[in-house]
Amino acid sequence: MQSLQVYNSYTRQKESFVPIVPGYVGMYVCGPTVSGESHLGHARPFITFDVIYRYLMHLGNKVRYVRNITDAGHFEEEGREAEDKISKKAIIERLEPMELVQKYTNLFHWAMRQFNNLEPSIEPTATGHIVEQIEMIKKIIAEGYAYAINGSVYFDVKKYAEKYPYGKLSGRILDDLLESTRDLENQEEKHNWQDFALWKAAPPEHIMRWESPWGEGFPGWHIECSAMSTKYLGTQFDIHGGGMDLLFPHHESEIAQSTICNHRVPARYWIHNNMITINGKKMGKSYNNQIRLTELFTGDHPLLAQAYSPMTIRFFILQTHYRSTLDFGNEALQAAEKGLRRLWEAHLALQKMNWVAGGPQNAELDQKIRRLLSGLDESMNDDFNTAKTMANLFEIVPTINSIKDGHIQSGSLAEDTFMQLKKYFTDYLENILGLRDESGAEHSKLHGVLDLLIEIRKDARSRKDYVTSDKIRNQLQQIGILMKDEKDGKMSYSLE
RNA sequence: GGUUCCGUGGCCGAGUGGCUAGGCAGAGCUCUGCAAAAGCUUCUACAGCAGUUCGAAUCUGCUCGGAACCUCCA
């Protein structure tokens, strides 16, 4: 079997994934800025990297997954208005900055739980690592690649580019960068306009501020990731991930800072997920076209035809390869909802089945199932192709349903194939893709009531009292419970 | 303007030289008291033009259309 291949943004090609220390993987993913509510676009990287995290563990690795919380705030426009995004919003909402940050952090964590994302190993905050950031800036100054001026510190991009491949990650050529036409205050402080801030002096009205060797201020917007990834994963680690929109300047700057400070490129594999678009345009604050997660879950948004559950969204996202754009649309979401139900019901049915010897062996079918199962691993190993993986799972569904309906005997498969089938479905659906039941299975009393209704309905049907049996089924349907008559005379139900 | 990427059937979306993608929707049949679900069968593709090749959705060139980044951004 082909080993795990990963598309590395840094080299622009697929490469075999080999951890620095075999069996151990360090992964850093850029987390949310908690100055506002998460939208659909934010869901993608965290679901994508959750699956990557799960799959790396599935392969037997011990993974340290670090995902930061950016709670220090960055500039809307660096240098123009000395107003921190977070402190600005705080004034509007009349909240303490940390109160605001706490509120959106809580909301973010809530959303992550809705999506069934595993918690990262470490979730460091920018405000909790001011000391580490200052230390790093000091080192960069000592190396001669940064300069302090008027209480701010800037990274000397031009000098760096003379010796190191600045722009390699983002495919940028320094001279080709479009010079900003805006009038920026404090621009004259910089030696070159490409230089970026490591530390910014805080004007008096700025609420978030810390003491530093250069005066009171706050960290620039790339240094936190460099400082925290170095602290928790070392000077060089395996994977650095995030959205494609972070390639430049964020990750390019991280590489520059870390390279000077630690004398090596920080991460070996750079993985970037593509954007979610809406009407062909990236969903983002610049376009003012976001659909917040809370709106998605409730359906309360003009663009939404209905509410979509967290698992529907997870499924929707994973049905596309992470490096492709994914276009939002009600039809697509509804297709995902139905597809998920079909897949999940087959999974539930499969787990209840047992292999029973007997019936004619079907070698061809057995081969096909085995081929599809190994295709699951192959697809995931091919740069985490969850779209292909899910297509494979769907191809197995008719066989599962045929066994369930008695069209095929479980014994027509080899016992080992059947057991593998059950194992793979659980591994892939629950452990790797991270899907879970949303039917409200926790209401055990409800299940008792439904079992009673099933009994009554069975009695009614046996007396050909279809008025009663239809009444039970129809009224349950009205409150969102589907009762189905199965082939074997049993009844099943599913909660919407 | 620079850099990069994309254009697949009604919708979403895999696939990078020859072999069925898959999901949703549509059509037919089977099963069923009915319904739903399910099973089987089935229709609609590779933006356009030219080239390379025995053979291209897949490689090359051009044209048209769209996007991302270059500014906070997942």
How large is the ipTM? 0.94
Predicted pLDDT at A79: 32
Q: Is the CB of A342 under 7 A from strand B?
A: yes
Query: How many Å apart are A376 CA and B56 C1'?
Result: 28
Query: How many Å apart are A334 CA and B10 C1'?
Result: 15
- For B38, nearest residue by CA–C1' is A401
Chain centroid offset of residue A379 CA: 19
Q: Is the CB of A215 under 7 A from strand B?
A: no
By the 8 A CB rule, do A224 and A126 touch? Answer: yes
- For B1, nearest residue by CA–C1' is A178
Give A236's contacts (C-beta < 8 A, 6+ positions apart).
A20, A262, A264, A265, A266, A267, A268
Helix axes A223-233, A130-142, angle to 10 degrees: 100
Query: How many Å apart are A8 CA and B51 C1'?
Result: 33
> What's the angle, vertex CA A374, arms to CA A368 and CA A380, rounded to 5?
135
Say which nucleotide is closest to residue A286, CA to C1' distance: B73
Taking chain A (496 residues) in runs of 10, the rounded mean pLDDT of each run is 88 94 98 91 97 98 97 48 58 70 93 97 96 96 95 94 92 73 60 90 81 94 95 97 94 96 95 93 87 95 94 96 94 95 95 90 93 95 96 96 92 95 97 91 77 90 90 87 82 81
Give the CA-trace dihedral at A110, A115, A121, A123, to 10 degrees. Answer: -40
3-class secondary structure, A262 = helix
Predicted pLDDT at A280: 86
HSE-up (13 A, CA, CB side) for residue A37: 9
Query: How many Å apart are A170 CA and B44 C1'?
Result: 40
Give A183's contacts (C-beta < 8 A, 6+ positions apart).
A80
Helix axes A415-425, A363-381, angle to 10 degrees: 30
CATH class of the domain whose range is A5-273: alpha beta
> Shortest CA distance to A369 belongs to which of A408, A330, A339?
A408
- For B13, nearest residue by CA–C1' is A320
Pairing verdict, β A267-273 and A237-243 = parallel
Question: How many Å apart are CA A422 and CA A405, to the nearest integer?
Answer: 17
- Please, what's the largest Cα pairwise distance for chain A? 90
Pairing verdict, β A217-219 and A237-243 = unpaired
Domain A281-432 sits in CATH 3.40.50.150: no
| Residue numbers in A 167-196, CB below 7 Å of strand B | 170-173, 176-178, 180
> Running DSSP on this structure, what letter comes out for residue A35?
T
Which residue, chain included where needed, has tokens 């809705």?
Answer: A114
By the 8 A CB rule, do A495 and A440 touch? Answer: yes
Query: How many Å apart are A408 CA and B21 C1'?
Result: 24
Which residue, chain included where needed, has tokens 């991280």?
Answer: A254
Question: How many Å apart are CA A79 and CA A101, to the nearest integer?
Answer: 23
The DSSP secondary structure of A268-319, one letter per residue, reads EEEEEE--EEETTEE-STTTT---BHHHHHHT-STT-SS---HHHHHHHHHT
Question: What residue ranges do the domains of chain A occupy?
Answer: 5-273, 281-432, 444-495
Q: Is the CB of A278 under 7 A from strand B?
A: no
| Residue numbers in A 60-89, CB below 7 Å of strand B | 70, 74-78, 85
| Residue numbers in A 358-377, CB below 7 Å of strand B | none
Q: Is the CB of A439 under 7 A from strand B?
A: no
3-class secondary structure, A226 = helix
Predicted pLDDT at A52: 98
What is the number of residues in chain A? 496
Question: How many Å apart are CA A242 and CA A22, to the nearest integer?
Answer: 23
Q: Is the CB of A458 under 7 A from strand B?
A: no
- For B25, nearest residue by CA–C1' is A335
Helix axes A330-352, A310-318, angle to 10 degrees: 100
Q: Is the CB of A247 under 7 A from strand B?
A: yes
> Left, alpha or beta for A291 (phi > 0: left; psi -120 to 50: alpha)?
beta
Query: How many Å apart are A381 CA and B21 C1'?
Result: 18
Question: How many Å apart are CA A435 and CA A342, to the nearest integer?
Answer: 13
Q: Is the CB of A473 under 7 A from strand B?
A: yes
Q: Is the CB of A460 under 7 A from strand B?
A: no
HSE-up (13 A, CA, CB side) for residue A205: 10
Question: How many Å apart are CA A110 and CA A104, to the nearest integer?
Answer: 10
Predicted pLDDT at A107: 95
| Residue numbers in A 372-401, CB below 7 Å of strand B | 382, 385, 387-388, 390-391, 394-395, 397-398, 401
- For B14, nearest residue by CA–C1' is A388
Say which nucleotide is closest to residue A176, CA to C1' distance: B2
Query: How many Å apart are A484 CA and B27 C1'?
Result: 25
Q: Which nucleotides of B are covered by protein (CB under 7 A)?
A: 1-5, 10-15, 21-25, 31-40, 66-74
| Residue numbers in A 24-53, CB below 7 Å of strand B | 30, 32-33, 41-42, 44-45
Residue A202 burial (CB count, 10 A): 21
> Shortest CA distance to A261 belongs to which of A233, A223, A232, A220?
A223
Question: How many Å apart are CA A262 and CA A42, to the nearest integer?
Answer: 31
Query: How many Å apart are A178 CA and B63 C1'?
Result: 28
Q: Is the CB of A337 under 7 A from strand B?
A: no
> Running DSSP on this structure, what letter comes out for residue A489?
S
What are the b/e assignments for A316-344, b being 16+ CB within 10 Å?
A: bbbbbbbbeebebeeeebeebbebbbebb
Query: How many Å apart are A180 CA and B65 C1'?
Result: 28
Residue A13 burial (CB count, 10 A): 10
